[in-house]
């Protein structure tokens, strides 16, 4: 089985193959990114997320299925001890077995059967795993493991089987003090969650940020979609995905306060897309990657790229990439 291209959506596999042939790799030839290769070559995946779990293993998920705009079964998960060899854990949440409010959602008066941009998160303070989900055309939820294990099963974390109405691409961030925050979409707002993540505290904080002086980004949110948030050396990095100069890139802005204001907006990882940043067991930083635009060396496959930071804290793609992330 080629995991990630099974189920009713598999009829679109041929179209996906053609879609990947459209990748020119011009971002590689232009020196913007290294010649990356997929971590799991036979798996189609958008919105790649990689984390280091509480058990010392890495976990990977994303939007799986041959056509996630149309249909998928649920959420699939992979595990690795070293980021190199990945093992299929299984389908950890499905509409049929686990869905509640998700089963009854309509889009243009038709039932919706797709999960967009699932993100797995390990919350240290609770010693548990959570998955943020989106459903088209826009509803966001938070699932939690009922066993404390990454394989679940997962149930709704929000009280009274509720969800956040509207919007897509939710993500969680746990700060050094154990407080957990939720942002989504283009990262225009940030919510403080309560202690058990069953709801939010107060109103969303509107995020202010300084747009680049050259006028290259004019939106009123840091990103377009695929929100992400992490912290390094006292600096918060808020961002997500943005169509920028023909690339679907990872963009970020920086602040010393989680609620901003944010500045130093930048295209951090060209073609990086709406994924996440994570630190490995040795302290190295990475950006997850999936390739959405035709400047990428491939499209809709999970990958990672090593990053580094300059003296001002700005992100850049590391020059020294390990062999296992590169095409030969």
pLDDT digits (tens, 9 = 90+) for 46-60: 999 999 999 999 999
Tell me, what's the pLDDT at 53? 98
> What is the 8-class DSSP label of residue 293?
S
Other CB atoms within a 10 A radius of the CB of residue 138 amount to 16
pLDDT band for 248, please (50, 70, 90 cuts). very high
Tell me, what's the pLDDT at 5? 37
DSSP E strands in 66-179: the ranges are: 74-80, 87-94, 106-107, 110-111, 116-123, 128-135, 139-145, 154-156, 164-165, 171-174
Cα–Cα distance measured from residue 3 to residue 178, given in angstroms and rounded to the nearest whole number = 35
Tell me, what's the pLDDT at 105? 80
pLDDT digits (tens, 9 = 90+) for 16-46: 555 566 899 999 999 999 999 999 998 999 9
Cα–Cα distance measured from residue 287 to residue 280, given in angstroms and rounded to the nearest whole number = 11
Cα–Cα distance measured from residue 35 to residue 321, given in angstroms and rounded to the nearest whole number = 10
Tell me, what's the pLDDT at 199? 98
Print burial letters for 205-222: b (CB count within 10 Å at least 16), e (below 16). bebebeebeeeebeeebb
Other CB atoms within a 10 A radius of the CB of residue 199 amount to 15
Cα–Cα distance measured from residue 9 to residue 63, given in angstroms and rounded to the nearest whole number = 12
Joined together, the tokens standing for residue 135 give 């459903």
Query: At CA 100, angle to CA 53 and CA 290, rounded to 5?
Result: 45
Of the chain, the percentage scoring pLDDT greater than 70 comes to 94
Give me the phi and psi of 11, to 5 degrees please. -60, -15
Are 152 and 122 in contact by the 8 Å Cβ rule? The answer is: no
What's the average model confidence in pLDDT over 228-237? 98
Of the chain, the percentage scoring pLDDT greater than 90 comes to 85
Joined together, the tokens standing for residue 274 give 């709406």
Cα–Cα distance measured from residue 19 to residue 14, given in angstroms and rounded to the nearest whole number = 9
Task: Give the position of tokens 């793609």.
Answer: 317
**Residue 222 pLDDT exceeds 50:** yes
Q: Please give the mean pLDDT across all residues of the chain.
A: 93
pLDDT digits (tens, 9 = 90+) for 52-96: 999 999 999 999 987 787 788 999 999 999 999 999 999 999 999
Cα–Cα distance measured from residue 274 to residue 251, given in angstroms and rounded to the nearest whole number = 9
Other CB atoms within a 10 A radius of the CB of residue 321 amount to 16
Tell me, what's the pLDDT at 107? 78
Q: Which residues contact 75 (CB under 8 A, 6 or more apart)?
A: 61, 64, 91, 92, 93, 94, 115, 118, 131, 133, 154
193 beta partners? 200
Coil, strand or helix at 15: helix
Q: 12 or 327: whose pLDDT is higher?
A: 327
Coil, strand or helix at 104: helix
Joined together, the tokens standing for residue 272 give 């990086």
Cα–Cα distance measured from residue 45 to residue 120, given in angstroms and rounded to the nearest whole number = 14
**Residue 12 pLDDT exceeds 60:** no
Of the candidates 138, 147, 137, 154, the residue with the CA atom closest to the CA atom of residue 100: 154
Tell me, what's the pLDDT at 328? 85
pLDDT digits (tens, 9 = 90+) for 199-213: 999 999 999 999 999
Tell me, what's the pLDDT at 8? 33
How many Cα atoms are found within 13 Å in the side-chain-facing hemisphere of 108?
A: 3
């Amino acid at each position: 089985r080629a995991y990630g291209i099974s189920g009713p959506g598999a009829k679109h596999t041929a179209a996906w193959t053609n879609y990947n042939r459209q990748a020119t790799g011009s971002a590689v030839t232009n020196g913007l990114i290294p010649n990356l290769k997929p971590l799991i070559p036979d798996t189609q995946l958008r919105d790649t997320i990689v984390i280091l779990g509480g058990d010392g293993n890495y976990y990977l998920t994303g939007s799986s299925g041959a056509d996630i705009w149309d249909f998928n079964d649920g959420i699939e998960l992979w595990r690795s001890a070293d980021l190199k060899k990945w093992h299929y854990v299984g389908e950890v949440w499905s509409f049929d077995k686990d869905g509640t409010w998700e089963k009854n959602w309509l889009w243009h008066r038709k039932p919706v059967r797709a999960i967009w941009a699932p993100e797995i998160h390990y919350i240290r303070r609770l010693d548990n795993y959570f998955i943020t989900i989106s459903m088209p055309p826009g509803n966001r939820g938070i699932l939690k493991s009922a066993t404390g294990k990454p394989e679940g099963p997962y149930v709704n974390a929000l009280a009274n089987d509720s969800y956040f109405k509207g919007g897509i691409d939710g993500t969680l961030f746990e700060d050094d003090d154990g407080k957990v925050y939720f942002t989504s979409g283009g990262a225009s707002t940030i919510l403080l969650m309560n202690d058990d993540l069953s709801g939010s505290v107060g109103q969303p904080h509107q995020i202010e940020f300084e747009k680049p002086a050259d006028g290259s980004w004019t939106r009123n949110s840091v990103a377009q979609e695929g929100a992400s948030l992490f912290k390094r050396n006292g600096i918060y990095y808020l961002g997500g995905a943005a169509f920028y100069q023909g690339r679907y890139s990872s963009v970020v802005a920086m602040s010393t306060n989680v609620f901003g204001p944010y500045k130093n907006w930048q295209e951090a990882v060209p073609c990086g897309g709406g994924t996440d940043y994570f630190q490995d067991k040795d302290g190295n930083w990475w950006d997850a990657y999936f390739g959405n635009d035709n400047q990428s060396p491939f499209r809709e496959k999970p990958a990672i790229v090593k990053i580094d930071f300059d003296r001002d804290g700005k992100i850049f793609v590391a020059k020294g990439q390990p062999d296992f992330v590169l095409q030969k």
